[in-house]
Structure 1
Amino acid sequence: MASFKIEGGHKLSGSITPQGAKNEALQIICAVLLTDKKVTVNNIPNIIDVNKLIFILGELGVKIEKISKNSYTFQADDLNLNYLESEEFKRDGSSLRGSIMIVGPLLARFGKGYIPRPGGDKIGRRRLDTHFEGFIRLGATFRYNKEESFYGVEAKELFGTDMLLDEASVTGTANILMAAVLATGTTTIYNAACEPYIQQLSKMLNAMGAKITGVGSNLLHIEGVKSLHGCEHTVLPDMIEIGSWIGMAVMTRSALTIKNVSWKDLGQIPNVFRKLGIKLEKRNDDIFIPEQESYEIQNYIDGSVLTISDAPWPGFTPDLLSIVLVIATQAKGTVLIHQKMFESRLFFVDKLIDMGAKVILCDPHRATVIGHDFQSMLKATNMTSPDIRAGVSLLIAALSAKGTSIINNIEQIDRGYEDIDQRLRAIGAKIERIEN
């Protein structure tokens, strides 16, 4: 188990390029199972969660060639479907939540898909009902082995249908979409997630020969086809990492350029940071954050306290609320953070309180942050990363704090951020990886 040792209080400078989007890459890699032809994927982030999924596909028999650090070819032309019922798969699949998205492609192409209960972040309940209800609507039979926590769906043939999802689940939409592209007839998915990553998956599937319309909306139309062919696809930059770099620049009062951010896919993110008083400049497709000694949270027009909350796209992503919360600890003013979508993601604030932040945890979903305006610096401490996003938020706090902090359980951070310590050192951070 490794830790980060961080000496806080140092300014950052220069430029940094965001990695490929983790959440898109997990969907795209699962989609290669829909064809026996070669698929090339570029800008894949070199992180634990993505590498675990690539390993699972390799065990399943997918031919994988690493072209460069972040580019791969995949060819699923000779799969070992017996692996899906093996003890090895039950072990491998249960450690990664993203593995759930292999079920849709396998069901569509081979008539069966199995998955152990997936793992991932400990951030509250993350239901799988949307996935399996969608498969059942397409004509699959569902079974669940309670003793082994093992799910399965089987169908001789899938048939297009109209469905209204009970929630706009991103992974649920992706999974059902991948199953529907090879179904007989036409499927409509209403209340579909419409995140840029779902749009990217749809564009990739269409490039492979699928017939999906309504891309970018919450109503998708899928006309089933007999088979798909290969394609080449490039993953978007990770909007969560972009938000993380903004947080690091602001909390260390540094000037920083974030390169090639795909502004058109950032949605509400720049606007929410501006509401916190943060200056962001659009320079072609880059973000420039100037050095700011202070930033003031905007109140609402009537003078009431600003609330920042998460919502399905095009609302503000829940993955950045913990970053916003940390930034607010040194802002001028007060903000209410309302985490609507997950009930345990705010529990990391006790670490910030230990560091001297003024945060009132109202309940599992809401926290009020009273900013210090840098009049009182956060204090260094020893802490443990509970999940990917909280881990990076604590890292941002440590970079701004007075003294030397230790963050344990950094595998949680490595799950979502590629070579983060090396990349931070390159822009001036004092961070060291310690193998315990």
Structure 2
Amino acid sequence: MKKLLILGAGTAGTVIANKMVRKLPAKEWQVEVVDQDPVHYYQPGFLFMPFGIYGEKDVVKPKKRFLSRKVNLRMGTIERIDADTNKVYLENGDSVHYDLLVIATGTTPRPDEIEGMEGDDWGRDVHEFYTFDGSCKLARRLREWKGGRMVINVAEMPIKCPVAPLEFAFLADWWLTKNGLRDKTEIHYVTPLSGAFTKPVATERLQHMLDERRIHVETDFAIGSVDNDKKRIVSWDDRAVDYDLLVAVPTNMGADAMERSGLGDELNFVPTDKETLRSLARENIFVIGDATDLPASKAGSVAHFEAEILEENLLAVVAGKELEARFDGHSNCFVETGYGKGMLIDFNYETEPLPGTFPFAKLGPMPLLKESRINHWGKLMFRHVYWHALLPGLPLGIGPHMSLKGKRTDLLKRNSPVLAGAR
């Protein structure tokens, strides 16, 4: 019997496993997933935990509950992939043969990559919210907050969910206002980018919102170290930003097993064809989700859209056909902005986030790149969609390819003056 082996049972790995086990002939193919953690985390929920909006029960579930019973889940830590012999070796000494391999090992924050970040202040006045443990600790720290300088720093790109640090800044402004602490707190958003976001139209809109909320933005800041004694972060060009509380978004890296396997780049992300999702190293290896080096957002929506493309291409390989399905980099993200409102952005490789309506041109009902209550509720409702439809690999009614319907494509002309009217 042939084997489709999937490394990782996070969002991407779970979705593609559930899709493929329904499509591959059971008498000819076995679908097996390897993962080291029995717990599945709803990672978008980590953003809400420091502010008391979500708790453990909202974000933590057992992995087995969301994988089809026809999928074999093997618990173990991946040591390396031997692409020459089509085997994956585990830390316990076991090896697993595969005919087709899907790498879905994700990405993790690596504070150890920043000098001094894991110093004496780590877990006290230096925190992160990209892990369950980190988010819980930050929640406890905020409960003690009386005021001071709060610094939100992005170390470098790419990161998981690139809008999450901005969302944290907006939610911090809301939470501090609600608790009577906003006038006692300076919020500084420190980024290595030249603007608030990676795309011009969205950057202009987001910068306007940051200014309205008195959130100071420090751009082009490439952090080199954290000075725990002086409570400051220092850039490679010797600029310094003082903090009383540092909310860090450390360097994000792929799995160390990719480095040991000779399949990763300098950040352990796997070089991948950005359209077919096939590894550049081997024809029988594919990559999905945060593990790729694609110029697309590392977000749950991207993993969902990629899974639809990957499903078609894996079935093409099994049938001995050419790969015809193409991923266009589609990403669709709710951006929580506080005060019961949110934004929605929809973009791909070629088209940046634009104002307009989604999913229908005239009816919407959700506005793009504009705050609204319906977008806020969409963000909160997505948790239920995630558990009950996205992970099982069910259709969500949004195709993998981005549509231009309802979007203000005239704004792609950078000299257009109409953006101000879209505010």
TM > 0.5 fold call? no
User: TM-score, normalised to structure 2's length?
Assistant: 0.28
